[in-house]
Structure 1
């Protein structure tokens, strides 16, 4: 989608459709740009409001077809909801609702006002970014594996933001540009998640990372299994042993991450199990196809790294993806086996379906080489987190209150909800092993937390946040700017964290 900005009056704009908005109230009245359009329509919007059929409820739309000499064929009126409740997430949702409605009407080009930067009291640049993100992500579709006519509805190819105040144009353009870059990173993550496991193998992820690096200026290294073996990554290699697909360890670097005069980098680590059968502790066949999404953490890191590079964020950032399949054959790791990690610590395998924490243990250990300012890992790690928090929030566990607060702040801005769970020493006791330094499960109770307790063994004293995205990584329900399938959760949060970190010169 191409989004442009121009100065003008929305009521005089000629396009396939014009978009205006209205806050919800008992007796709504069109004002501002909406009032100007209503006047040009000789009170048509006002008559709709008087009828009571539309009162500006959030994400409700009305399509009007002007008569006479009005320059556009359609006017789309979208509700903003109550003014007191309006925020950036509402702006994203309204933009997404609008874009989806325009697509359903077969509109390929439309002009719109900027939602919420006037009476909604949003900062202009932030409102523009929200409009771009919501519009692009709402129009996302994944149909690469469909034969014949893939497009059931025409694409919304062009959106023009019309702004009367010349002083606001620069801020709007900056926001639109950033929003397009961030949404592009989310779409990369969604694509990677939605590909089936026979396409999105560890080697495929590595190939995509290399091409991304060439395109954006990131530095990329990919370690093969021989290099992993030399480094002592026995946990990652243990998981990959049952697959014919070789594991890959992907490293992307943005900015100066080493050497004199550097700023300590942020390190983002994403679980990259491209298909998870459960291994010897095999999963039920019901829903196993969804285990192609078990690399959603990896997808988020790759998508975020693209956006971070394109935005030119000054904060150095490293993205690390341990990528493997978890399958079963005669070479698979077995319950009762003991694996030696990169740090030398050993893990007894209690359940081969608790493989994500194994590959992350080596990735977190590797990240210590960068002496990072902070580490954030993302993983579809436990069903226990889904039980605890459902599909609406990711679980957050951390060894550092300051970093946890920064992640929570970023999540609030992007509306990728997180909820902090405790990580008390008592949970570490649940993963004690009689034969090794620890075991890879801690029993039924507190499963999301005991998984994090194992990961904490590999970050030493580095500030670290673990995000369990098992409940939020994919969805079967369409929301205003989130279609069914891979969500791309975490991309916007990581980008926001890096942007905020960049501004504070940590």
Structure 2
């Protein structure tokens, strides 16, 4: 779909459809007021008859409105004017795009970016509209033999801005929004792919293809089981012992900083392409969703797509830590003690607490990059879902400034996270009779003890952990990957890049 910005009055617009907001109860936005005046009260007469109240997401599609050059006008309910926040704005955009796409409007001029949204500027409104539009039209039908093809799909959206001074900011918002939407789509496509196709080798091939597309300053290196064994990554290897698919770690290195020796930002993604639980076998209910246990790796891949597309002036290393946790005669057992790459030993209490075993060796491995910061992303614990539901990503860190940066980026991008404490009281739950630590801290504070476990392998740098178990995918009727937290991490990288103040996502 094509996106653009312009500045013009509604009476001069000739398009398949104009989009304007109506507030509750039956209150006109400024653009809707102008359209009503142009049509000599045609719209207000309809509202007086109760055609549209203005509740969030309500729609009224009008054809051949008197004195209006465009073929249609779509009125969209925006709720109460003073209560229009980012969540309601996103709902409005989502409903708008779906209505346009389902009613044969192949192009539209959208005036919703002129609405006042609490604490948000024009850049944010345009960018979120682009991201939401792309997300609302997303489908994963690559493996369907009969694909649905719309006869007249929505192909072009023009966002109308109040003044010409905002056009530059709006154009940059579209550039950023399209890049982030592309990264989200890439992450969703990988995560939605079935595990018989999307294994470690498949992810490694995608990492190589990405580097080849940007060969000038991007490379990919893939470590196999032989390499990891020589290094001593015994915890990582133990998780994949029961699988016939080789464990592979893909390292994507991007050098966008003018100083090639600048310390990199390292992103580590958990990539369990399928997690049976191992000998500590999961229940069969919804086990098909365990293909999503590689959403951390998919996130890293998606964020790297964004960084490369925008040519961000940063050095970034993206690590896809991939393997498969299956049941076999060679599988990891409860009671096993593993010597990690760091030299610390871990007593395995539960083979379904496997992600932290993969990550602990990976977090030690990335010390060789002399990182400025390290962020790991993982569908790590069901306990995080109990704590935060499916709305917030769990955030833990050993560095207050990094935690603040990520929290701020999450708020800016509308991809929310919540900071959880890493304190010594939780560390005590990892004590072992036979090794340096166990891989399980018990049910109380399970998300935090998992973070505490990882923190023991991240003492050499500033580090943050994002637990996305509750936010990486949806179940039920809307089953599928969400692409979170690509938007949050992309905003974090944008904040660390050099852009002028008018392109900030906040007012």
- Whether TM-score is above 0.5 comes out as yes
Q: 5+ residue gaps in structure 2?
A: 500-507
Does 2:203 align with 1:208? no
Summarize the Cα distance change of 1:186–1:37 in structure 2 as closer, same or farther, 3 Å threshold. same
Partner of 2:227: 227
Q: CA RMSD in A?
A: 2.4
Partner of 1:381: 380
- In structure 2, the residue corresponding to 1:428 is in which secondary structure? helix
In the aligned structure 2, how far is the partner of 1:122 from the partner of 1:349? 48
- Check the 8 A contact 1:10/1:163 in 2, yes or no: no
Q: Within 5 A, what are the aligned runs for 1:15-414?
A: 15-22=15-22, 24-26=23-25, 28-31=27-30, 33-67=31-65, 70-116=68-114, 122-151=120-149, 155-163=153-161, 165-217=163-215, 218-255=218-255, 262-414=261-413
Choose 216-225 or 434-443, whichever is displaced more: 216-225
Q: CA deviation at 1:108?
A: 2.6
- Check the 8 A contact 1:17/1:109 in 2, yes or no: yes
2:490 to 487, 492, 495: 495
Q: CA deviation at 1:164?
A: 6.2
Choose 43-52 or 277-286, whichever is displaced more: 43-52
- Check the 8 A contact 1:364/1:459 in 2, yes or no: yes
Summarize the Cα distance change of 1:169–1:325 in structure 2 as closer, same or farther, 3 Å threshold. same
Q: CA deviation at 1:450?
A: 1.1
- Check the 8 A contact 2:114/2:162 in 1, yes or no: no
- Check the 8 A contact 1:30/1:46 in 2, yes or no: no
- Check the 8 A contact 1:235/1:359 in 2, yes or no: yes
Summarize the Cα distance change of 1:119–1:232 in structure 2 as closer, same or farther, 3 Å threshold. closer
- Check the 8 A contact 1:213/1:219 in 2, yes or no: yes
In the aligned structure 1, how far is the partner of 2:308 from the partner of 2:97? 27
Q: CA deviation at 1:361?
A: 0.5
- Check the 8 A contact 1:266/1:498 in 2, yes or no: no
The total of aligned residue pairs comes to 498
Summarize the Cα distance change of 1:245–1:52 in structure 2 as closer, same or farther, 3 Å threshold. same
Deviations 1:419-463 (A, max 9, x none): 222211121111112222111111122111111111011101422
- In structure 2, the residue corresponding to 1:347 is in which secondary structure? strand
- In structure 2, the residue corresponding to 1:430 is in which secondary structure? helix
In the aligned structure 2, how far is the partner of 1:257 from the partner of 1:201? 32
In the aligned structure 2, how far is the partner of 1:476 from the partner of 1:40? 47
Deviations 1:130-160 (A, max 9, x none): 1211111111111112222433685322222
Q: CA deviation at 1:468?
A: 1.0
- Check the 8 A contact 1:256/1:262 in 2, yes or no: no
Summarize the Cα distance change of 1:396–1:164 in structure 2 as closer, same or farther, 3 Å threshold. closer
- In structure 2, the residue corresponding to 1:161 is in which secondary structure? strand
Deviations 1:43-81 (A, max 9, x none): 232223333443433332221122456333321112333
Q: CA deviation at 1:319?
A: 1.1
Deviations 1:139-192 (A, max 9, x none): 111111222243368532222224463332222111111101111100111111
Q: CA deviation at 1:357?
A: 0.4
**Runs of at least 4 residues of structure 1 off by over 6 A?**
none
In the aligned structure 2, how far is the partner of 1:95 from the partner of 1:290? 29
- In structure 2, the residue corresponding to 1:466 is in which secondary structure? strand
Partner of 1:3: 3
Deviations 1:339-369 (A, max 9, x none): 2211111111111111100001011112222
Choose 249-258 or 400-409, whichever is displaced more: 249-258
In the aligned structure 2, how far is the partner of 1:257 from the partner of 1:309? 12
Deviations 1:357-392 (A, max 9, x none): 000101111222222222211111111111121111
- What TM-score do the two structures reach when normalised by structure 2? 0.92
Summarize the Cα distance change of 1:367–1:44 in structure 2 as closer, same or farther, 3 Å threshold. farther
Summarize the Cα distance change of 1:91–1:275 in structure 2 as closer, same or farther, 3 Å threshold. same
- Check the 8 A contact 2:264/2:371 in 1, yes or no: yes
In the aligned structure 1, how far is the partner of 2:304 from the partner of 2:83? 32
- Check the 8 A contact 2:346/2:438 in 1, yes or no: yes
- Check the 8 A contact 2:114/2:160 in 1, yes or no: no
In the aligned structure 2, how far is the partner of 1:105 from the partner of 1:132? 20
Summarize the Cα distance change of 1:119–1:245 in structure 2 as closer, same or farther, 3 Å threshold. closer
Deviations 1:226-251 (A, max 9, x none): 11112211111111111111111111
In the aligned structure 1, how far is the partner of 2:347 from the partner of 2:209? 37
- In structure 1, the residue corresponding to 2:197 is in which secondary structure? coil
Deviations 1:97-133 (A, max 9, x none): 2111112223332221252466877422222211211
In the aligned structure 1, how far is the partner of 2:25 from the partner of 2:80? 10
In the aligned structure 1, how far is the partner of 2:230 from the partner of 2:42? 73
